[in-house]
Structures are given as structure tokens and as C-alpha cells.
Structure 1
Amino acid sequence: MDPHDAVGPAGSRVTIPVTEDLVRGALELERTPHGIRPHRLPAWARAQCADGQLLLAESQPSGVRLVLRTRATMIELETLRTTIAYRGAPPRPDGVYDLLVDGELAGRGSVTGGNVLLVDMLSGDRELRPGPSGTVRFTGLPDRVKDVEIWLPHNEITELVALRADAQAEPVPPGTRRVWVHHGSSISHGSNAASPTTTWPALTAALGGVELVNLGLSGSALLDPFTARTIRDTPADLLSLKLGINVVNSDLMRLRAFGPAVHGFLDTIRDGHPTTPLLVVSPVLCPIHEDTPGPGAPEFDAATGTVRFRATGDPRESGKLTLRVIRDELSRIVAERAASDENLYHLDGLRLYGEAELPLPDRLHPDAATHRRIGERFAGLVFGEGGPFAGPPCPIRPQ
């Protein structure tokens, strides 16, 4: 239905069906007893790995947004969220919904209630405590036909229960903007960012004028073959991979396995995207793992209610991976492959966040200000003039 048409009586609401053509940034929509749950990995990929961290990360909808054209002045979204709580720690901040009107930030909000996944960081035990759905409401929107985006919280599993407004809506036709598929770790996922449009990939996408598909998977950028096949099968004009930190802090593999795993990951992606610009990004600075291998371990300070991380590996063990080793290996691999792949590029992560920067509050993840810094630098180096993803400028400004 045309959004100019059929507004109900004053103060009335219409329910807008949440269909696939309203959702961007998700690779699959699962129908649940409550509504629709967006996923960033398809079911066949999830079936190949029962790791709880991976399944949690991919179901947190970083970069996923509802996009609709409407003249509504009020829009509300009912959702059932699942939040994470750590035993003994203070409550984490509520996830944030960002609403954009014609590309400009026009509102922010959160929902209450929802399920709580209680995690014991020392034992790894988990307990799910169910709760009710909640509603985020945006009012006072311009009384004209406009494009509206509702970005879902990047750090809360979100089931879409109902979308309501005071006017009808329709999908926004696909535009001409290029699609950027990015894969990385918790920093790419958005850990400690202030909101879903201020994760560094979302900021970069706005500056670069591209449509984002964010496959940043907290704790799970581990060169898994199913992730490579997912990227292979996802339509994209631009591809980037930020690799290394999770391989180190999970102590997943030794140097002997890392190189072939990177080659295999790239080979699989190239099977589906043989000439697509592909950027490999090495890790940003993380002092605890620069010269000390993993595994990483959390340390909970009950007095302050904070969690910080430390590296526990022994650098004297043969083949152990540190971030310095990873950066050298990625640089070597890309240089060798680029001799026969003119669309393959490398970016040293220290150019995004390096020495003499703002400290990492928990020794592992950047804060909101650093997300902005990384996003702006990535946009300048990669999407700017002379960068591997350089293209037409974008009229949409980051929030």
C-alpha cells in the first residue's frame, strides 16, 4: 500500500507485517513462537557448530535494521529481548534502538523486560530467566513521506513481535549503494559502542555511503569454514575481513595451522567472489596480547564491579600466536596472493588503533570514543580517495 494512503482514525494504529523486504543486514529470519528473530548466520552454518558463544553472537543483530517508507508520525516496535548478565556483576546498560529519518538520527530508545541469560564468567555456566516483551516508541516524526530506519541493538538478541504505526508503510526499494560485507571479532560486532549506528562498521558505512552487512561475531572470528562459505554465498560489492585477535585470545591454533587456515578461508570466499575487492585487516593494538599468547582470561573486580582481561599463555612455547606474529603472517600471505589477485588488499590494524591511543577500558575492547575514531580512520583509509573501496561520496552523515 502507498504510504500516502489509508491513515486510520486520529490516534489509531495499524500493524505493519515484518516481512523480509523490510529487514536489512540479516542473512536469515527465524519464525519463533513470539515473532521473528534475525540471524547473521544461516541455519545450515549454525548447525555445524554448537558453540554457545558463536550462537549468542550471531543472534545479536549488529547492523540489522528495519527500513520502511511511511508518513507515520508515530512508530512503535514491540520486541522480546534477551540480555546478558554476569553473575556478581552490576547490570549492563540496556541495548539501544536508533531511529533514522532520511539518514538523520531522529530518536533513540530502549525496551524493558525480556529474557536474561545469566552467565558465570569463571565456570561458564549459563541460566536463562524468561521475561515479557517490551515496546520502544518514537513520536513526533515529520508528517511527510520519508524513509525510516530502526537499527536494532547490536548487543541484545532481539525477537520482533510487532511493528505498529499511525500510518501504513511500504518497503524501500533497493538503491544503488554498494553492499559491504564485513567480518570480524567483538570490536567489529560493536562491543562497548554506545549504540547500533555508532559501532565502527556502522559509522564507516555511513561515511562510505554503503549498505552494511555486519558479520562481526564477538569471540568467534576463528576462520571457521562455514563462515567463509556464508561470505562466499552472500551478495557483496565489497568485502573485508578483520582477523587475528580471537585466534590469539582463544588459543585456538598454532602458527603451523594459522597460515593454511587463512589461505583456505580466502580460497573459499574467492570461489563466490572471484574479483570483488577484498581487504584483509590485521588486529588493532591490544597490549596484553602483543607479545603474550592466549588464552585470555577475565578478571572480575567485585569491589568496582568491573571485568578486565589478561593474557595467560607462555610465549616460550613453540608456534604460539601473538598479535605481532599474526600481523606479520597476514601481511606475508596477502602480499604473496596479491601477485595473482589484483583485487586483494591488506591494512595494518595499527593504523586504525595503535600506539599512544586511548586506553582499552577492559584491556581488550575499545570504548565508544575509540569506535568513532576507528570508524573515521577506516573510512578515510579504505573508502577515501586512493583507498581500495573508493567510490562516490555519500550524502548521509554518521550520527
Structure 2
Amino acid sequence: MSPEEQLITTPVTAELLRGALDLERTERGLLPHRLPGWARAQCADGQLAMAESQPSGVRLVLRTRATVVELETLPTKRVHAGLPPRPDGVYDLFVDGHLADQAGVPGGDTMTIDMVTGTVRTEPGPTGTLRFTGLPGREKDVEIWLPHNERTELVALRTDAPVEPVPDRGRKVWLHHGSSISHGSDAASPSTTWPALAAGLGGVELINLGLGGSALLDPFTARAMRDTPADLISVKIGINLVNADLMRLRAFGPAVHGFLDTLREGHPTAPLLVVSPILCPIHEHTPGPCLPDMSALRSGRLSFQAAGDPAERANGKLTLDVVREELSGIVRQRAADDPNLYHLDGRDLYGEADTVELPLPDRLHPDAATHRRIGERFAELAFAAGGPFAAER
């Protein structure tokens, strides 16, 4: 920083953040959450706690003439024992709606996950600062998308000109819930997860409740969605229920009905889109649980395998083909009394031909190119003319 450069520190408040349902004041900063505190209190699962505190879809949104923007944060880096280090989380900077820069933050806490023993160890680390310079000196909208896969405490926001909240532009709010695929696992950056790409193409404001490993029809998630203002709603159901081996067919149907009933309590007429799973060959006809492939781990790769027995479908175990059939029937039944309820087969987003061209690298999660394909297809099917989220509706 040059001696003449005077930076202004602006407290980060809810008015400057979008995409979070709750903000927690910690000892070191402000932690965005994607589930409210009362919901978090109803589940002690460590996977859910990690997923909902990773700010997928959360962004700082400012109106300013600043040419320099600094953001000091405390990230939590994930390390899988025996695997190569993950790259630092990416922050995407947008100026007036256009991607202008990207950066990462070094340092932070380190969470080491041993997938063999299931243990987790966290070591504290220092805060880090990213610095964007050379921004145009005119009045402009600035958005900083926080890393979708890295827990991020916001410590300080510094600029060389005052900032203020961006006024409401009148865009519709799209509230989406899904699994790690919706969360953005293996996407290149936070603005290129498939929901973020689809939101940009659809011209809507995104609230992304994609929760890695945690799209499990939890009642508290349904209630959180019920209470969140939104114009458009989608739920992507299935893969986590199969790979967690969480419930049987007898429980699945009533749980889906209950989840949709709760959403309708708060959003009785909003377009509501139920999306079934994309194609995932290991679980199409084989139940969970889904487990790490130990031979791949020993060679330094992360890959997954379905550990269930296909014969157990007869006893009610869920597979992706079973889930799709049930969801289609449930939506068809309910749509007779709910004209704003829609269904989308996930294989229309990623299907047989796509697995040949763009196979899932770890057999479970899409890569960056596949996120783009899914996002573009979702936008075409949902937001384009005639789609359930089309502007004319």
C-alpha cells in the first residue's frame, strides 16, 4: 500500500451480503451460514455443519467508486489424508455483472479428514487478505462471490472509497436445495457451480441451499425454505438418500410429500420444481451406502463405489431408478391440485451420452465442464420460454 493510499474499513453487515440465511459473530469475524441457527441446533451431524457453513452462492454486494478492494478472511481449508492438497478456494470478483478478477486467500484453519478412519482434526491458522486493484473509478456494482467449498469467516472489508448496499434491482429470487452437486463440488469457482451459472443465465438472485451430503429431506431444511422469501423454488432429491442408505421406499414417499407440504405452507403458489437425480452409473441400480474406493485412496486418488446389493431393492432399498420413478409419480399425483408444481428428470441435465463424453471423475461428482453443461441445460429447461421459471409466468 502506498503512503498516500488511505483505505476505509467498512463493517460487513447483512445489508452487504446475499445468499446467507444467518450470520454468526465469532471471535475472529462474521461467519455466513446457509441454515438458520434454530435449524442447525436440530442436527449434530458434522457433515451438515461443514456443508452449510461453506458459503456456496453467498456474495458481498457493494455500490462504490473504489478502485481498491481488500477482503480479510479466515478460511478453513480441507485436507484429505493421503491425497494431494486441495487448491485454495476461489473468490470471484464481478463489476457491473461481469467477471473482472479472481483470487484466493492463503492461510486459515486446516481441517484434516481421514476417510479411512472417519476422524477429523482441525488446526488453527492465521487470517489472509485478498486484494483487488485497478477497478474503474466510476460508481459501480461490485460483487465478491465467496468460495463455495471453503468455510469463510469475514474479518474486514477495506476500500479506497465509501461503500453502500446495492439497491433492490427487482430481480426474482430463486431458492434451490440439493446435494453436493448443487453445492458445487468440483466446480472451478463459486460463480461456476451449476446453480450459479443457471441463475446468471436466468437473470435471478440465487439462494443456494445445496448441502454436500445433506439433501436428506430433513424437516428443518424444509422449514427454513418455507420461511425464506423466494419467487422460484426447486428441490433436487435423491442421490444423498441413496448413497447414505438413509431410508427405505416405505419412508421415502411420505417424506417427499411432507417436504413439499412444508414448502407450500410458506410458498403456496410459487413455481416449485422437483428435480430427480442426474445419471450416476454406480447407483442407478445398486443401493448404497456409497464408500470411498480404498484401492484408489492407496494410489492417491479419491473415488467412490456403491457398496449395496442390487437384490436388496426387493426389500425397499433405494436406487436412483427407484427414486426417479417415485418422484415422477408423486409430482403427477400432486399436480392435479397444484398447477404450479413441476417435474424435471435429472437425466435431461446429465444423461447416458454425457457419461461417455464427460464421465464423473470420482464416479460421483461432476467436474467444471459438466457443471457448465448442467447449468446451461437447466437454464434452457427452466428459465426459457415455456419453462416452469419462465418470465411470462
Secondary structure of 2:60 counterpart: strand
Alpha-carbon separation, structure 2, partners of 1:302 and 1:281:
32
Shift of 1:19: 0.9
Long gaps (5+) in structure 1 = 1-7, 393-399
Alpha-carbon separation, structure 2, partners of 1:123 and 1:339:
49
Alpha-carbon separation, structure 2, partners of 1:303 and 1:122:
10
Q: What TM-score do you get using the length of structure 2 for normalisation? A: 0.97
2:283 aligned with 1:289: yes
Could you report, residue by residue, the CA deviation over 1:224-278 in whole angstroms, capped at 9, with x for unpaired residues? Answer: 0000000000000000000000000000000000000000000011111111100
For 1:373, the equivalent position in structure 2 comes to 373
Q: What TM-score do you get using the length of structure 1 for normalisation? A: 0.95
Secondary structure of 2:352 counterpart: coil
2:335 aligned with 1:329: no
Which residue identity does 1:352 align to in structure 2? L
For 1:147, the equivalent position in structure 2 comes to 141
2:209 aligned with 1:215: yes
Alpha-carbon separation, structure 2, partners of 1:136 and 1:124:
33
2:164 aligned with 1:170: yes
Which residue identity does 2:323 align to in structure 1? I
Equivalent of residue 38 in structure 1, options 32, 40, 44: 32
Which residue identity does 2:327 align to in structure 1? L
Equivalent of residue 107 in structure 2, options 113, 120, 133: 113
Which residue identity does 2:215 align to in structure 1? A
* 1:1-399 to 2 correspondences below 5 Å: 10-300=4-294, 301-302=296-297, 304-317=299-312, 318-357=315-354, 358-391=358-391
Which residue identity does 1:310 align to in structure 2? Q
Shift of 1:292: 0.3
Secondary structure of 2:122 counterpart: strand
Alpha-carbon separation, structure 2, partners of 1:289 and 1:336:
26
Q: Is 299-308 or 38-47 further displaced after alignment? A: 299-308
Shift of 1:15: 0.4
Moved over 4 A (4+): none
Secondary structure of 2:379 counterpart: helix
Contact 2:297 2:303 in 1 (8 A): no
Shift of 1:316: 1.3
Shift of 1:307: 0.6
For 1:5, the equivalent position in structure 2 comes to none
Q: Is 80-89 or 330-339 further displaced after alignment? A: 80-89
Secondary structure of 2:353 counterpart: coil
Aligned residues: 385
Shift of 1:10: 3.7
Could you report, residue by residue, the CA deviation over 1:132-187 in whole angstroms, capped at 9, with x for unpaired residues? Answer: 00001100101111000000000000000000011110000112100000000000
Which residue identity does 2:109 align to in structure 1? N
Alpha-carbon separation, structure 1, partners of 2:114 and 2:172:
42
Secondary structure of 2:391 counterpart: coil
Shift of 1:105: 0.4
